[in-house]
Amino acid sequence: MQIDSRGHLLHLYYGSRIGEGDLAALYPPADVSFSPNYYAHRFDRLASPDILPQEYTGCNVGDFRLSTISVTDAAGVRGADFLYVSHEISSGKYALHGLPAAHDEDQEAETLTVRLQDPVTGLGLELLYGVFERQDVITRAVRLANHGNGALQLHKVASACLDLPFGQWDLIHFHGRHAMERQVQRVHLADAIQTVSSTRGASSHHHNPFVILCDRQATEEAGACCGVMPVYSGSFRTDVELTQNGLVRLVTGIHDDGFCWLLRPGEQFTAPEVIFAYSDQGLGRLSRIYHRFLRHNICRGPWRFARRPVLINNWEATYFDFDTEKIVRIAEKAAGLGVELMVLDDGWFGKRNDDNSGLGDWQVNTRKLPGGLDPLIRRIHALGMKFGIWVEPEMVSVDSDLYRAHPDWALTLPGRDPAMGRDQLVLDLARPEVVEYLADCMTALLQEHAIDYVKWDMNRNMSDVYSRALPPERQGEVTHRYMLGVYSLLERLTQQFPQVLFEGCAGGGGRFDAGMLAYCPQIWCSDDTDAIERLTIQNGTSYGYPVSAVGAHVSACPNHQTGRTTPLETRAVVAMSGTFGYELDLNRLTEAECGEVRAQIERFKRWAALIGSGAYFRLAPPDGESDFTAWQFASEDRREALLNLVVTHPRANPRSAHVRLRGLDPDACYRVDELVFAAGSNVDDARHEGGMAALPQGKFSGSFLMHAGVALPHLFGDYPAVQLHFVQAEGEKA
């Protein structure tokens, strides 16, 4: 960065570490037609704000590119031009009041604070940078303060601006819909503005807030890549503009659609944090930077590094049709197979026999659970299992005692019938009394019952946004105040009950973001539990988020979402690249299948540390040219690796499935320690055994595995899968 002669803060470079040189020379002065110049340069015409690389823009002062801010004063005048005041570097990482942000428990970070101010409005700007040098990460946030004499209205406040002066860039983003989240799309930057956003009051199933700018030639292993990840769970907007002079500008932050924040004299406003990471070694390296950082510096509490218990969830086994005995029967079978956690999903409270009633009434339905939760929990604990429960605190059913008592607590527009989603409305968490009510309900639930796990769901997006508790001039604050209320509620509960494992959920993966990971170290990845569909969903998720955060279950077949039948072992291979659990009635399995489940759980427990904290490598993505998908884990010390492969397109005369491993010690000697081969359901025993015999055997050098690779035999049947666990041969060198 550089302060120019006028006092503006310029952004000169972000990329690989470089030596001495004049970065300002990357931006030669130019007279650009129809781009006005600063007043002091009105005669030489070589200093236009429209072409300078800016660390944080003003508004309405001659820069026609994407802006980071829009502010008006009491007279309706829109304008801001921030000039440098001071800066300081301090030890430790800054904190953001009321917002999730990276922490610095290892005390490795430094904070750079740069202060600027608009001399006309008195609007002060603090740019905050958390520098994690060992992790190759810089976090950025913005704090505004009204030092003037009159009220200001903030119509847009971005969290960060990134100007890149050179290069041919692609944009990678992760689109989708319910049950099809985080599909990878890579596009060339056009001479236009490209937008990735959500106006749903949540980060959404449809556009994840994480984006990547990368070289046109970037691959998994080579090329420049820049990641931009907001630590925010509400409506967001990321814009990327390829400008007239070839400079790329990226601006990200809270979505400005309907946003307006009243900032009175002496008040502050803080914009959410953004995590920036850069790699000149390809997309895989960038992903691993984010994986480690999110595990170490976003997730908190005793569960962030701990192996998560293998769970059984009753949802796809029973839906709303259950009672105590049915849940106990599922738990008894599961406990005998090694499952460690029984999760009671939706339907245990209020008048809740379908999704049209009961939300908001967090009292136990004793018709389903005679005597309440405690008798059930005692029986679950007696089996040696933990007990978990589903909640959806942010919502209310119209058919509920809560709504009948407090209809004004729901977001609805005066005089209009509200849009309905699952026949439920969104509670107004911008109101402190609503947050208090929910805090009391959830605190009582966790204090009065021995609950070990909470699945925190949110099953509709925001519409009819209007708060009856706010005056007209503050209605533009509702969606952000809602998120502050959610964060406040989660902060209180996770701090008060640190031993409870919270899993985030929003109709599956509709709020899978770094903001939620600050409270929930794992998030239900998608409501689509089909193993083959999950390959694509989990692949897209892996670009920014660690496997330890991915809620993944083995479900019944034919699958409830797609009708597809997939081998039980293949379903387990896919679900193991996540927190791992089951979502089916294990009592319906054959004895042979129960034996498979028992072996799967034992295998996952052996490999859990490698899967949860190992380096992740995408070897053959599901959207590639291969007939298979392959991915791999390697331990930090490079002593073991786990190769996973699923055939997604079986053929009569296939090419060999050939993969090269990554992350090994080239000079070490490795052997296959464990081998799992899941044949399709239509394969006879002889053919299955023949395939097993042809799988890689013997010893291999790390360099052999990484450069020559391994070739797998013809894998027969419907969606067969392979897992190969490699370990270093003790005392042997290649």
Residues involved in catalysis? 513, 593
Residue pair 565/718 in contact (Cβ under 8 Å)? The answer is yes
Rounded CA-CA distance 224/328 in Å is 53
Rounded CA-CA distance 557/563 in Å is 7
First CA to last CA across the chain, in angstroms?
48
The answer to whether the peptide bond before residue 558 is cis (omega within 30 degrees of 0) is yes
Rounded CA-CA distance 122/265 in Å is 9
Q: 685: which DSSP letter?
A: H
What's the number of CA atoms in the CB half-sphere (13 Å) around residue 153? 18
Q: Which two tokens stand for residue 93?
A: 């990482």
- In the chain, the largest separation of any two C-alpha atoms, in whole Å, equals 87
Residue pair 139/290 in contact (Cβ under 8 Å)? The answer is no
For residue 109, with 0-12 CB atoms within 10 Å meaning exposed, 13-18 middle and 19 or more buried, which class applies? buried
Q: Where are the beta strands (DSSP E) in 235-267?
A: 236-242, 248-254, 261-263
Rounded CA-CA distance 50/37 in Å is 8
Q: 189: which DSSP letter?
A: P
Residue owning tokens 């997730």: 299
426: Cβ–Cβ under 8 A, 6 or more apart, which residues?
A: 201, 394, 395, 396, 410, 411, 460, 462, 482
208: Cβ–Cβ under 8 A, 6 or more apart, which residues?
A: 173, 174, 175, 176, 181, 182, 512, 513, 540, 544
